[in-house]
Amino acid sequence: MPNDRDWLRAELNDQDELAEAMFAHLAARIPTVQPSADFVDRTVQVAWRTRSRRRIVTRLVRIAALLTVIATFGSIYELRGFAVFLVVRSAVAVSHGLVWLVTSAGQGAGWWSTAERIGIAVSDAISAPPTAAALAAIEIVALFGIYAFHKLVRDELGAQK
Amino acid sequence: MPVTPSDAELVEQALSGSQAAYHTLVSRYATPAVNLAARMVQDRALAEDLAQEAFARAFERLATYDRQRRFISWFFQILHNVTIDYLRRNRPVTVSLDSVERTGDPGLAATVQDLPDALAEQAALVGALDVALARIRPEYREAVLLRYREDLSVQEIAEAMNLPVGTVKTYLYRARRELASILATQGWTSVQKGKAETSSGRTP
C-alpha cells in the first residue's frame, strides 16, 4: 500500500505521472455524499409526472393548432364574397388614386412652368442696363423725397411747440 | 442467474413506458449524481434538488440519448449544465482557509482516534483533501471528481463539461497542484509527530 504522503512529495518534486497515480489512489477514498433514502422514488415520480404533464400540454397544443387551421379555412370560405368585394374596391380605389396622382402632377408641372417664365422675364428686365439705370435714378429721387418730407414734418412739429 | 440489463436496455424500456426500468437507471446513478452536485454546491439538500432536475431533464431527452455513448457520461453532461446554471445564478461556493483550519472534519477525527497511527494519518490526509477540495475552483473540483471518483476518461469529461480535451488535462493538473499547495500550507509535507496532530486533520 503506497504512502499517501508520496503524492505530495511527487507533486512537489514535479513527478507528474507518479503524482497522478498516487492522487488517484487517495482521491478514490474521499467519502461519498449519499442521497437520502427516498431520493430515487421521489426523482422517478417527478420525472413521470413531468412527462405526463408534458404529454397533456402537447395534446392541447395540437388540438388548438388544428382548431385554428379549421377556423381559418372556415372563415375564408364564409367570407369569400366579402373578400372579392374588398379586392375589387381596392383595385378601383388604387386606379382612381393613380389617375388623380398623374393629373395633379401634370397641373403642378404647368404651374411651375408659368412661375418659371414670369421669374425669367422679371429678372431679364431688371438685369438690362437701361432699366437698371432708370430704377437707380428712381430710387435716388424717392430717397430725396422721403428725406424732404421727413424734414418738413419735423419743422412743422417744432413750430407747434 | 438474472442478467443485469445494460443502461441502453434500460433506456429502451423506459422509453417504452417502463417506470421500473427508469427507477433502476436512477438508482444506479443517484449516488454519483448527488455526490458530484453536493461537492459543487456544498449543500446536500440543494444537491438533491439539482440531481433531481438533471434526472427529469434526462428523462425528457431520453429519446436523444446515443446508445454508443456511456449513459453516465451523457447524464453528467446534463447534470453539469444544471449545476453550472445554478452556480451562474448564485455566487460560487468556496470554503475559507480559516474555517477549514478551525473546524477540520470532526466526524473523521472521531474515527481517526480509534485507528493505528499509519491508518489514522492516511484517513486524516483523506479528510484534509476532502476539505481542500471545497476550496479550489468549481470547474477544477468537477474535473477531479469526474476523473478520480467517477472514473470518466478525459474525453468523456471534456464532453460532459463542454470543454476541449487539452483544457480538461490542464484543469486536472492545476487542481492537483492547488490541492497539494493547500495541504502543504497546512504542514502535510513535513513528518507527522503524533496521533493527536493527525486527528486534527493537519500538522503544525
* CA B149 to the chain's CA centroid: 6
The per-residue pLDDT string of chain A (161 residues; one tens digit each, 9 = 90 and over) reads: 456 667 888 888 888 888 888 888 888 888 888 999 999 999 999 988 888 888 888 888 998 998 888 888 888 787 878 888 888 889 999 998 999 999 889 888 888 988 988 898 888 877 778 877 888 888 899 999 999 888 888 887 777 65
Which has more confidence, A80 or B200? A80
Arithmetic mean of pLDDT over chain B: 80
The C-alpha of A95 sits at a distance from chain B's nearest C-alpha, in angstroms, of: 58
Torsion of CA B195, B196, B197, B202, to 10 degrees: 90
pLDDT for B69-78, tens place per residue? 889 999 999 9
Same-domain check for residues B16 and B107: no
Same-domain check for residues B123 and B39: no
**Window B:87-106, CB contacts with A under 8 Å:** none
Same-domain check for residues B67 and B125: no
- Cell numbers given for B97: 482557509
Contact B126 A50 (CB under 8 A): no
Of B69, B89, B109, which residue constitutes the final position of a domain? B89
If you ran DSSP here, which 8-state letter would residue B68 be given? T
Residue B19 domain flag: yes
Interface with chain A: mutation pick from B52, B133, B192, highest number of A CBs within 10 Å: B52
Indicate the residue of A27, A29, A33 with minimum beta-carbon distance to B34.
A33
- State yes or no: pLDDT of B191 exceeds 70: no
Of B66, B89, B112, which residue constitutes the final position of a domain? B89
Residue B20 domain flag: yes
pLDDT for B117-175, tens place per residue? 667 777 888 888 888 998 999 999 999 999 998 889 999 999 999 999 999 999 999 99
The C-alpha of B49 sits at a distance from chain A's nearest C-alpha, in angstroms, of: 9
Torsion of CA A108, A114, A118, A121, to 10 degrees: 130
Same-domain check for residues B64 and B146: no
The C-alpha of B172 sits at a distance from chain A's nearest C-alpha, in angstroms, of: 9
Same-domain check for residues B76 and B132: no
Shortest CA distance to B42 belongs to which of B90, B2, B111, B110? Answer: B90
**Residue of chain A nearest B122, judged by CA positions:** A4
Number of Cβ within a 10 Å radius of residue A15? 15
> Where do we find the cell 477540520?
B104
The per-residue pLDDT for B115 is 56
Same-domain check for residues B26 and B56: yes
The per-residue pLDDT for A72 is 86
- State yes or no: pLDDT of B110 exceeds 80: no
- CATH no. for residue B76? 1.10.1740.10
Q: Rounded CA gap, A26 and A17, in Å?
A: 14
The C-alpha of A56 sits at a distance from chain B's nearest C-alpha, in angstroms, of: 14
Same-domain check for residues B112 and B188: yes
State the residue range of the domain holding B76.
7-89
Contact B149 A27 (CB under 8 A): yes
Q: Rounded CA gap, B143 and B149, in Å?
A: 10
- Cell numbers given for B95: 470554503
Residue B204 domain flag: no
Indicate the residue of A4, A7, A35 with minimum beta-carbon distance to B34.
A35
- What radius of gyration, in Å, describes the C-alpha atoms of chain B? 19
The per-residue pLDDT for A5 is 67
- CATH no. for residue B161? 1.10.10.10
SS3 per residue for A117-143? HHHHHHHHHHHCHHHHHHHHHHHHHHH
Indicate the residue of B47, B59, B176 with minimum beta-carbon distance to A19.
B176
Same-domain check for residues B83 and B126: no
Contact B59 A24 (CB under 8 A): no
Residue B76 domain flag: yes
Same-domain check for residues B107 and B195: yes
> Is the CB of residue B7 less than 8 Å from the CB of residue B28?
yes
Q: What residues of chain A lie within 8 A of the CB of B60, using their CB? A: 47, 50-51, 54
Q: Rounded CA gap, B3 and B93, in Å?
A: 42
Same-domain check for residues B101 and B174: yes
Same-domain check for residues B194 and B131: yes
Q: How many Cα neighbours within 13 Å face the side chain of A65?
A: 6
What percent of chain B clears pLDDT 70, i.e. is strictly above it?
A: 77
Number of domains within chain B: 2
- State yes or no: pLDDT of B46 exceeds 70: yes
Same-domain check for residues B19 and B111: no
Shortest CA distance to B184 belongs to which of B112, B117, B108, B97? Answer: B97
Of B89, B109, B126, which residue constitutes the final position of a domain? B89
What percent of chain B clears pLDDT 90, i.e. is strictly above it?
A: 46
Contact A40 B26 (CB under 8 A): yes
